[in-house]
Amino acid sequence: MDDGFKYEDYQNTAKWLLSHTKHRPQVAVICGSGLGVPGHAGRLVFGILNGRGCVMMQGRFHMYEGYPLWKVTFPVRVFHLLGVDTLVVTNAAGGLNPEFEVGDIMLIRDHINLPGFCGENPLRGPNDERFGVRFPAMSDAYDRDMRQKAHSTWKQMGEQRELREGTYVMVAGPSFETVAECRLLQKLGADAVGMSTVPEVIVARHCGLRVFGFSLITNKVILDYESQEKANHKEVLEAGKQVTQKLEQFVSILMASIPLPDNAS
Ligand code: HPA
């Protein structure tokens, strides 16, 4: 198969998972680089997080690994068929906004689907109406209520650093950006740059999931030709490790703010 999954493929996977666990998750969490449990990337974990049934994806599929976007986003539709109504996305990202520091957490307000500008959209191809409409809106992709709750929760946590909020731009990778590319991305209005998340969010919104998420700023992008620094994956993972606990705590507190499903007894 090289042209996408059929509805039955998603359904079969969802059925298989439901037959292997008693959990019936409301929330799915996709953990990006440095945010999953170290050494356990590639696991799907079911459990209860702060009272909410959750399915956690530790690691994800990336476009830069060579996967087509319909494979990258396969899990999101499976989550939908499991009965999940909320998707939480996390990622590691380079800071484009000059005010951002390494270790900052950015609440994602919006995204720029740069691969989409070149035709790489996960919804490209025939549309299955059972998942959603042909032309889904993306102007409200990141849930406003959850963003407000994230800010108030952050204040209650008494953190010294402020919670950042901004626009995430996706690049395909795997090469990091040139200086000229970083300057361009800044001019486009992006605050953070990374190589994931956007395809999953598009597919999640298409099938009606509530979405919110965070970027962990693991490095500042290089904007100056005189700079001796270079972006590298090790620095990304190191910065991830140091803030992991805080972000995990933050996400788990926020679970309680996700509205209960209508059918909750
Ligand atoms: N660029 C792209 N992706 C990234 C970066 C970056 O600087 N940091 C972490 N992921």
The whole-number pLDDT of residue 40 equals 58
Q: State the CB neighbour count (10 A cutoff) for residue 11.
A: 15
pLDDT of residue 28: 97
Ligand 1 near 198 CB (within 6 A): no
Among candidate residues 142, 233, 218, 221, the one with its CA nearest the CA of residue 184: 221
Q: At 115, phi and psi to the nearest 5?
A: -60, -30
Per-residue confidence (pLDDT) for residue 37, from 0 to 100: 63
Amino acid sitting at position 105 = I
Whether 62 is catalytic = yes
CA 116 to ligand 1 center in whole angstroms: 18
Query: Does 85 contact ligand 1 (Cβ within 6 A)?
Result: no
What global pTM score does this model have? 0.94
- E strands of 124-259, at which residues? 164-170, 192-194, 210-220
What's the pLDDT score for residue 244?
83
* pLDDT in the model for residue 264: 63
CA distances, 237 to each of 22, 228, 234 (Å): 34, 20, 5
* Whether residue 92 lies in the annotated active site: yes
Give the closest residue (by CA) to ligand 1 atom 5: 94
Cβ–ligand 1 distance for 25 under 6 Å, the answer: no
pLDDT of residue 23: 96
Atom of ligand 1 nearest to the CA of 194: 3
Number of CB atoms found within 10 A of residue 35's CB: 24
How does strand 105-113 pair with strand 210-220?
antiparallel
Residues lower than pLDDT 50 in the chain: none
pLDDT in the model for residue 35: 63
